[in-house]
Amino acid sequence: MEFLINSLLLLMLVATVFAIVRLKRLMIGVMLMGFFSLLSANIFMVLDAVDVAFTEAAVGAGVSTIFFLAALAIVGRTSKPQNATRTFVPLAAVIITGALLVYASFDMPYFGSHDAPAHNHVVPRYLNDSPNEVGPPNIVTSVLASYRGYDTLGEVGVVFTAFIGVFLLLGAGTRKSGVERPAPPNVQAESMRQKVVLREVSDLLIAPVLIFALYVQWHGDFGPGGGFQAGVIFASGVILYALIYGIVPAQKVFPPRKLAYFPGIGFLLYALVGVVSMMRGGNFLDYGVLVHDPLHGQHYGILIIELGVGITVAAVMINIFFSLSERSL
């Protein structure tokens, strides 16, 4: 049954991708890409990767699609037909690469097999010992935040870098900093505000979305979720508000100039946990030394770094959305 659902979803993915390849209208292409992400999230769910499914749904189908739409609002929604010379070389390259991959696939451990090397070298320790070494029942959280916490710091670094890059290129979402603009001629937002159903539903949704984000933030130890998902969901709540009521009211609640500090604050919070553990005689990001009892130390360490992740991600996503959508005004 599992396999059947999985296969069906995969075939739907293939159909979606081919539709995207053939489409001229980018707007629909982007919507389909969001759909593609949502389908992938379903597959991740079927394949037991609940945290990944959660993230893919929030990021791929949510925030990332919104970024695309914001960009399309600026650059136009249709693409020119491709000229024929562009198709041959890519096609050849893709066929060669694909053939190499198919060739390799015959030596891959079969899907779902128990004795695949991937499950039997490093992973057993995570499964068997992490409840006693790190604590959280959600092993993904243990590995993400503690065993491979250094990677996750790098991941926050990537998000932070993207923020700085967008900020450097597009500005902070206040094009003329300090100058209060008149209400923007944002046709899209205006028309959205007039749609009663949309507005009412959003009004109902925004508060629960934000509360849900906080739940996801603090519940990541036990179930799927954690700082990253929480940050993205929180940001989606704010973006939803901005879409319905316009950017300006949203910026009143979250002034971009102040918000621009938060990615750095979250990043620093994360790294400083590591510095504190160094000062207490442990290695960088060794939460075990934070307090007297190592398991408690792990608990506090993970809690704080997840908070750092959440702050950075939420602030970055909101900021990038502001920066992109300001340009279309």
Partner 1 sequence: MIAGLFNYWIVIVLMMAGLYIVMSSGHLVKKIVGLNIFQTAVFILFISMGKIAGGTAPIIDSAITLYSNPLTHVLILTAIVVGVATTALGLAIAVRIHEAYDTVEEDEITAMDAQSLHEENTASLAAESDK
Partner 2 sequence: MIEQLPAIQLLLTLLAAPICSMLRNGDHAWRLATAATWLSTVVAIMLLIQVWDGGVISYQMGGWPPPWGIEVRIDELNALVLLLVTLFGSLVITALRESLRGVMRHQRQSLYYTTFLLCFAALIGITITADAFNVFVFLEVSSLSTYALIARGRDRRALTASFRYLIMGTIGATFILIAIGFLYMVTGTLNMQDLSERLPAHWDNRVIQASLAFFTVGIALKVAVFPLHYWLPNAYTYAPKATTAFLAATATKVSLYVMIRFLFDVYGIEFAFEKMQLSTILVPLSIAGILIASLVAIFQNDAKRLLAWSSVAQLSYMVLGLALLNASGITAAISHMFNHAMMKAGLFLALAAMIYRVNSSKLHDLAGIGRTMPLTTGAFAVMGVGLIGVPMTAGFVSKWYLISGTLDKGWLPLAALLIVSSLMAVVYIGKIIDVAYFKPAPPQHADVREAPLSMLIPCWIFALLTIYFGLDTRITAGLAGRVAQSYLGVS
Q: Hey, which residues between 163 and 222 contact partner 1 (CB under 8 A)?
A: 165-166, 169-170, 222
Interface with partner 2 by CB under 8 A: which range of 65-73, 74-82, 119-127, 242-250?
119-127
Sign, CA torsion 96/102/107/110: positive
In degrees and rounded to multiples of 5, residue 220 shows phi and psi of -60, -20
For tokens 């389908």, the residue is: 39
Q: Pick out residues in 225-284 that bind partner 1 (CB under 8 A).
A: 228
Q: Among candidates 259, 275, 271, which has minimal Cα distance to 316?
A: 259
User: Nearest distance from residue 104's CB to partner 2, in Å?
Assistant: 3
Residue 196: HSE in the Cβ half-sphere, 13 Å Cα cutoff? 0
Could you say which of 28, 47, 278, 291 contacts partner 1 (CB under 8 A)? 47
Q: Which long-range contacts (CB under 8 A, 24 or more apart) does 111-120 make?
A: 112/3
From partner 1, partner 2, none, interface partner of 179 (C-beta below 5 to 8 A by class): none
Residue 171 Cβ vs partner 2, minimum distance, rounded to whole Å? 9
Q: Which stretch binds partner 2 (CB under 8 A): 67-75, 118-126, 198-206, 244-252?
A: 118-126
293-322 residues in contact with partner 2 (CB under 8 A) are none
Least distance between partner 1 and beta carbon 44 (Å): 5
Among 193, 199, 219, 327, binds partner 1 (CB under 8 A): 327
Which two structure tokens, joined as six digits, stand for 310? Answer: 């959440």
With CB under 8 A as the contact rule, the residue among 118, 179, 196, 197 that binds partner 2 is 118
Nearer to partner 2, 143 or 238 (CB): 143
- Counting contacts by CB under 8 A, is residue 289 touching partner 1? no
* Minimum distance of partner 2 from residue 242's CB (angstroms): 23
Dist. CA 138–CA 116, nearest whole Å: 22
Q: Which residues pair with 25 in a beta bridge?
A: 78
Measured from the CB of residue 300, what is the shortest distance to partner 2 in angstroms? 14
- Contact between 142 and 136 under an 8 Å Cβ cutoff? The reply is yes
Count CA atoms closer than 13 A to 109's CA, side-chain side: 9
